[in-house]
Amino acid sequence: MHKTRPLVGLPADTYEKDGFLFHSLGDKYVRALAEVADVEPVMIPSIHDATDIDGLLDHFDGLLMTGAISNVHPPHYGEEPTSDHEPYDHNRDAITLKLIKAVIARGIPLFCVCRGFQELNVVMGGTLETELQRGEGRLDHRAEKSPDVNVRYAPRHVISITKGGLLEHMLGKRETMVNSIHRQGIKRLGEGLVVEATAPDGVVEAVSVKGARAFAFGTQWHPEFKAAQNPDSVKLFGAFGEAVRAHARNRTQTHYERRTA
């Protein structure tokens, strides 16, 4: 019998070329979902003015917020935009911030990576710091300048994992090595977020949503890169996949109970 896998949505990035707007997703995210989490990845176009978010979410059992070249527009967290904050993707902002809020409220599993991690913090009322490497005592969290993706995404620094937290529960350890492909990070932690890990310079590397009804977790690093070959990534995407399947089972049961009531 053919196995039907639950659907996980990934909001698209947008870019313009030759006068047309395009919606796109990175292959590494969809492969991590399909090959490691064992779910069906589906792109959500960033057309906020033509998207019924509640109706859309009726079809999904999980949401993965991806990383991106762009950054959240500073007015979304109460700051003035500067050239240091660029580039932007206003189309993505317009749908992802609403999606995150709706997904948390509905108890749909949520996994946020890099830009998605920062979006989660903004939705929860937090702020962002740009050009981290300029701060006193800060590490340079930007990627190595190399045409080789294996160099850019290689492990760069250790993270300290919060004792008794969700990340320790998933990985079974108190520290690990992660890649580092960002120049922005959390400035003020959003209300209701729990710090799950930090870099040696204090930059927040992972968070969870306190009291969430389902898996609601984010990383500043990129666990999706060659996820099937990284034991930590296998555990993270495996846990997310299990949460997605649990949500699908509960949704199916609830639908059956409503039909037979």
Q: Which residues contact 50 (CB under 8 A, 6 or more apart)?
A: none
Q: 168 in a domain, yes or no? A: no
CA–CA dist 9, 125 (Å, integer): 23
CA–CA dist 221, 115 (Å, integer): 10
Residue 260 has pLDDT above 60, yes or no: no
Q: 68 in a domain, yes or no? A: yes
CA–CA dist 74, 173 (Å, integer): 35
CA–CA dist 121, 114 (Å, integer): 11
Q: How confident is the model at residue 1 (pLDDT cuts 50, 70, 90)?
A: low
Q: 142 in a domain, yes or no? A: no
pLDDT for 48 equals 80
Q: 237 in a domain, yes or no? A: yes
Label residue 116 left, alpha or beta by phi (over 0 means left) and psi (-120 to 50 means alpha): alpha
Q: How confident is the model at residue 185 (pLDDT cuts 50, 70, 90)?
A: very high
Q: 116 in a domain, yes or no? A: yes
Q: How many CB atoms lie within 10 A of CB 9?
A: 22
Which domain, by its residues, includes 67? 7-131+183-260
Q: 138 in a domain, yes or no? A: no
Cβ 236 vs Cβ 205: under 8 Å: no
Residues marked as catalytic: 114, 222, 224
CA–CA dist 259, 247 (Å, integer): 18
Total structural domains within the chain: 1
* CATH number of the domain where residue 105 is located: 3.40.50.880
pLDDT for 259 equals 59
pLDDT digits (tens, 9 = 90+) for 41-88: 999 999 988 789 999 999 999 999 999 999 999 999 999 999 999 999
Burial class (CB in 10 A: 0-12, 13-18, 19+), 139: middle
State the average pLDDT for the chain.
94
Q: 70 in a domain, yes or no? A: yes
Q: 65 in a domain, yes or no? A: yes
pLDDT digits (tens, 9 = 90+) for 150-166: 999 999 999 999 999 99
pLDDT digits (tens, 9 = 90+) for 85-143: 999 999 999 999 999 999 999 999 999 999 999 999 999 999 999 999 999 999 999 99
